[in-house]
Amino acid sequence: MEVVNLYEAKTNLSRLVDQANAGEQIVIAKGGKPMALLTPLTPKKRTIRYGLMKGQFAVPVDFDAPLPDEVIDAFER
C-alpha cells in the first residue's frame, strides 16, 4: 500500500487513479497523517484457469444413467 502526501496526490492524481484502477490501494496523507484511501471501484477480475483439475478425477461412464427408483421416490414425496 503506497502512502503519498496531499501535494503529491494533487500533482500525480491521474497516475494514482490508474494505479488504483489496477487494484492498488493508495493512502493520501496530510502532514504525515493518513486522511483518505484511494481504492478501485470494482474488484480486479479473477482470471479463469481452464483445465485446473485436469487428470485429477475421472467422470464415470454411467454418470448420466437414470437414478434408481428409490432415489426418485425420495425426491417426489
Tell me the percentage of the chain whose pLDDT exceeds 90: 62
Mean pLDDT of the chain: 90
Of 25, 24, 32, the C-alpha closest to 7 is 32
pLDDT at 76: 87
Residue 77 has pLDDT above 80, yes or no: no
pLDDT band at 19 (very low <50, low <70, confident <90, very high): very high
Calculate mean pLDDT across residues 43-59. 84
Q: What global pTM score does this model have?
A: 0.53
Q: Which domains does the chain have, with CATH numbers?
A: 1-42 (3.40.1620.10)
Region 47-72: mean pLDDT is: 90
CA distances from 7 to 10, 20, 33, 43 (A): 5, 18, 13, 27
